[in-house]
Amino acid sequence: STQLLRREYSNSNPETSSETAPILGYELSLLPLIVDEIRQSLPIVPYKTPANITHVVECVVSLCKFEEGDQIRELPCSLSFHRNCLDKWMDHQQTTCPLCRFSLIPEETTIRLRRREQELTEELMF
């Protein structure tokens, strides 16, 4: 998934030169749209202190503890971050969890990108 977005491009490598440049450019041009899709797919919920928690639970980005009612984003990897912290992370075109690097790209988006990549590859071959 993120491999699709983070493929290296080198003019010195004949396998990745002009033939794949249009695909790479297409993927990079979509990155802001992909980040928007990630934002829309992640729920924003108010933080509620679990009853059985005896230790401080904090956002690993800001290193601030979660307070009752803070707006947080819950990720598919089961980690949570302050909404603003994760949004700033994604403002830098990041598409993975800041801690475990789990891909945040929705499965439908990945499928659509792979399909389009295959179409572009086929167009280049003919």
Alpha carbons 43 and 75: distance in angstroms, whole number: 8
Q: What is the structure's pLDDT at 94?
A: 92
Q: Read off the pLDDT of residues 21-70 as tens digits, 9 standing for 90 and up.
A: 444 566 667 788 889 999 999 999 999 988 887 788 899 999 999 999 99
Structural domains in the chain plus CATH codes: 1-42+106-126 (no CATH), 44-103 (3.30.40.10)
Q: What is the structure's pLDDT at 22?
A: 43
Alpha carbons 115 and 124: distance in angstroms, whole number: 14
